[in-house]
């Protein structure tokens, strides 16, 4: 009984140690940054050397980067995982590829940034642009999406596949009608979690397409073109805190709050999607 | 029809997983509309044999098969169209597997994969297969509920209905009764007796009495070798040709 009590207290304390800092961070950001946030703050460009105005160009830039990066990496990653999990024979080449995927997921983002600079900006001649930055982010998220998708596919019981093969279904018919529908919630969760990672990374975009300041037309979603350089929230936060002298004190907190809020909103959406799909779980 | 030509003929079939050989040169044949019982202890190669027959052995990456299997004169191990082969050889696995689809879609799955889209034809086929598997009366009012929510015995009959849905000429049952109750087992055995009129059946079973009740001939497989293959009465007589057969049937093994 004593042990049970000790275990409860210790484990509970660990949970608190994880939850409390998160709550503290959010409370701190809200207290410091909330007064500045308004619709006008979100939808106007920064002015006066970024000391006044809003964050519109940075917000839109982040949206562009995230959407384009995932539009590239999600289909490639999911299909790659389908191949690795459903088609590839278990031989040394497959094991090498799996090892490469795991290692690629562990490469620091600044290294991805250098690769993006070399491969997309210079070698491919795209130049510093939204496209080059998005592709760099896509390369960074690809291995994680492959890993999470493979896990979701592997969670579909082997007996379902065997039952399909036994009645003469081809591999693709089996994947399309049984495996993918039943692993969709896991796949989507893995992809959506990468939204927050893509939105938060600064290093990969610093060399490849993000700039300190850029004025864009406000009020339209199509203010950037793919070959433009752009601002991004994570980069803007860095700039405002370290490069701009005499910036108003609440400004960085407001930027951080917007970034955090957007990420939390996307994650919440993923939880809703997952629970919707899970409630239709079929076995 | 040429009735003396065997439906299935197996010659010197060898199968190894990596360096471990599990079937050591099996040779036997099965006549059309015969029930062949296959008995033997665990690890004797019964399931592996069935997986060779419908080529699902292809999905085991380190499996190597040699020898020959012919069904209706067609070389199974070298055929290019495995999907047609698998439709010809129905397979029922030991544990019931309801696919995560509705009862209707479970049965219509194979015909759809084979390219049948006509709604009336699918309806008729689903009803016929569910009736053949003695499940129709229990599920006819809820065909669009999930197949995975049925009881174990019902799911096993659903599995049989699915195995029948692609009009197989041969039906392989792999220890179909290990997960279901005796009453359902007897019902399925009655189903098999009826199917025998137009199908060749391979009945792998761990219940020796089940082979005795149903099989025309019985094969005793042990450690990847055929110890004995004879008329069921001969196998179950007090004087089978091999002492191991007697010992196994009477539970004196090992």
- pLDDT tens by residue, A181-216: 989 888 988 998 898 889 988 888 988 988 888 878
- Between CA B109 and CA B165 the distance in angstroms is 8
Q: Which of A46-55, A223-232, B168-177 is the least confident region? A: A46-55
Q: Among residues 136-165 of chain A, which lie with CB inside 8 Å of chain B?
A: 159-160, 162-165
Averaged over A145-172, what is the pLDDT?
92
pTM: 0.83
Q: Are B124 and B57 in contact (CB under 8 A)?
A: no
Chain A residues touching residue B114 (CB < 8 angstroms): 168
pLDDT for position B253: 65
Question: Does B90 reside within a domain?
Answer: yes
| Cβ–Cβ gap A167/B93 under 8 Å | no
Q: How many domains does chain B have?
A: 1
- Between CA B229 and CA B27 the distance in angstroms is 10
For residue B68, give the 3-state DSSP assignment: strand
Question: Does B145 reside within a domain?
Answer: yes
Q: Which of A149-158, A171-180, B241-250 is the least confident region? A: B241-250
The structure tokens 């959407």 sit at A67
pLDDT for position A243: 83
| Cβ–Cβ gap A164/B148 under 8 Å | no
| Cβ–Cβ gap B146/A168 under 8 Å | no
Whats the size of chain A, residue-wise? 283
A133 or A218, higher pLDDT: A133
Nearest CA in chain B to A176: B113
| Cβ–Cβ gap A170/B83 under 8 Å | yes
pLDDT band at A246 (very low <50, low <70, confident <90, very high): confident
pLDDT for position B184: 84
Q: Are B223 and B254 in contact (CB under 8 A)?
A: no
For residue range B203-232, list pLDDT tens digits in order: 998 888 888 899 999 999 988 899 889 888
Residue ranges and CATH numbers for the domains of chain A are: 37-278 (1.10.3720.10)
Question: Does B104 reside within a domain?
Answer: yes
Question: Does B1 reside within a domain?
Answer: no
Q: Are B225 and B24 in contact (CB under 8 A)?
A: yes
Q: Is the pLDDT of residue A280 over 80?
A: no
The mean pLDDT value of chain B amounts to 88
| Cβ–Cβ gap B93/A165 under 8 Å | no
In DSSP notation, B131-165 reads: HHTT-HHHHTT-TTSBGGGS-HHHHHHHHHHHHHT
Q: Does A91 touch chain B (CB under 8 A)?
A: yes
pLDDT band at A281 (very low <50, low <70, confident <90, very high): low
Q: Does A134 touch chain B (CB under 8 A)?
A: no
Chain A residues touching residue B163 (CB < 8 angstroms): 166-167
Question: Does B2 reside within a domain?
Answer: no
- Between CA A100 and CA B245 the distance in angstroms is 53
Of B91, B98, B114, the CB nearest to A166: B91
Question: Does B61 reside within a domain?
Answer: yes
Give the residue from B186, B58, B38, B164 showing the smallest Cα distance to B108.
Answer: B164
pLDDT for position A278: 76
Token pair for residue A192? Answer: 């959506």
Give the residue from B116, B122, B113, B54 showing the smallest Cα distance to B89.
Answer: B54
Question: Domain range holding B120?
Answer: 8-249
| Cβ–Cβ gap B109/A170 under 8 Å | no
Question: Does B3 reside within a domain?
Answer: no
| Cβ–Cβ gap A167/B101 under 8 Å | no
Averaged over A58-82, what is the pLDDT?
94
Chain B residues touching residue A167 (CB < 8 angstroms): 86-87, 90-91, 109-110, 113, 162-163, 165-166
CATH code for position B96: 3.40.50.300
| Cβ–Cβ gap A168/B83 under 8 Å | yes
For residue A243, give the 3-state DSSP assignment: coil
Rounded to the nearest angstrom, the minimum Cα separation between B96 and chain A is 9
Predicted ipTM? 0.85
pLDDT for position B1: 42
Q: Is the pLDDT of residue A260 over 60?
A: yes
Question: Does B22 reside within a domain?
Answer: yes
pLDDT for position A283: 62
pLDDT for position B3: 55
Which of the residues in chain B have pLDDT under 50?
1-2
Q: Are A244 and A51 in contact (CB under 8 A)?
A: yes
Averaged over A229-257, what is the pLDDT?
87
The mean pLDDT value of chain A amounts to 89
End-to-end CA distance of chain A: 37
pLDDT for position B15: 93
């Amino acid at each position: 009984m004593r042990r049970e009590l000790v275990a409860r207290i210790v484990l509970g304390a660990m949970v608190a140690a994880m939850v409390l800092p998160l709550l503290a961070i959010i409370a701190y950001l809200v207290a410091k940054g909330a007064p500045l946030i308004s619709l006008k703050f979100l939808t106007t460009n920064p002015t006066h050397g970024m000391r006044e105005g809003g964050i519109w160009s940075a917000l839109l830039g982040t949206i562009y980067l995230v959407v384009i990066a995932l539009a590239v990496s999600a289909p490639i990653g999911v299909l790659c995982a389908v191949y690795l999990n459903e088609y590839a024979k278990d031989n040394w080449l497959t094991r090498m590829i799996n090892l490469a995927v795991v290692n690629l997921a562990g490469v620091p983002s600044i290294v991805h940034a250098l690769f993006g600079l070399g491969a997309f900006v210079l070698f491919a001649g795209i130049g510093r642009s939204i496209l080059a930055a998005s592709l760099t982010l896509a390369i960074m998220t690809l291995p994680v999406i492959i890993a999470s998708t493979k896990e979701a596919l592997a969670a579909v019981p082997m007996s379902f596949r065997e039952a399909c093969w036994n009645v003469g279904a081809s591999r693709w018919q089996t994947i399309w009608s049984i495996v993918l529908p039943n692993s969709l919630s896991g796949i989507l969760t893995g992809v959506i979690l990468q939204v927050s990672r893509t939105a938060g990374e600064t290093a990969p975009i610093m060399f490849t397409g993000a700039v300190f300041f850029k004025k864009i037309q406000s009020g339209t979603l199509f203010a950037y073109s793919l070959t433009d350089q752009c601002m991004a929230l994570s980069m803007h936060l860095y700039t405002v805190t370290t490069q701009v002298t005499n910036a108003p004190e609440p400004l960085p907190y407001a930027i951080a709050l917007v970034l955090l809020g957007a990420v939390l909103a996307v994650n919440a959406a993923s939880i809703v999607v997952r629970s919707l799909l899970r409630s239709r779980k079929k076995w | 029809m040429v009735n003396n030509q065997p439906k299935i003929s197996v010659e010197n079939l060898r199968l190894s997983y990596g360096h471990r050989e599990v079937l050591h040169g099996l040779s036997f044949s099965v006549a059309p509309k015969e029930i062949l019982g296959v008995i033997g202890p665990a690890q004797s190669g019964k399931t592996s044999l069935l997986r060779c027959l419908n080529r699902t052995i292809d999905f085991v990456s380190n499996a190597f098969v040699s020898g020959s299997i012919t069904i209706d004169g067609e070389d199974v191990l070298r055929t290019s169209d495995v999907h047609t082969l698998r439709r010809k050889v129905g397979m029922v696995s030991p544990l019931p597997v309801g696919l995560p689809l509705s009862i209707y879609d479970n049965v219509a799955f194979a015909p759809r994969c084979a390219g049948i889209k006509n709604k009336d034809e699918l309806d008729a086929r689903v009803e016929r297969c569910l009736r053949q598997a003695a499940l129709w009366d229990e599920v006819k009012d809820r065909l669009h509920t999930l197949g995975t929510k049925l009881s174990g015995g019902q799911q096993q009959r659903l599995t049989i209905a699915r195995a029948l849905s692609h009009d197989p000429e041969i039906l392989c049952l792999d220890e179909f009764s290990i997960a279901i109750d005796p009453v359902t087992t007897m019902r399925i055995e009655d189903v098999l007796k009826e199917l025998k009129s137009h199908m060749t059946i391979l009945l792998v079973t761990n219940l020796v009495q089940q082979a005795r009740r149903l099989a025309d001939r019985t094969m005793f497989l042990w450690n990847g070798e055929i110890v004995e293959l004879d008329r069921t009465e001969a196998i179950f007589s007090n004087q089978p040709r091999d002492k191991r057969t007697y010992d196994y049937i009477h539970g004196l093994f090992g």
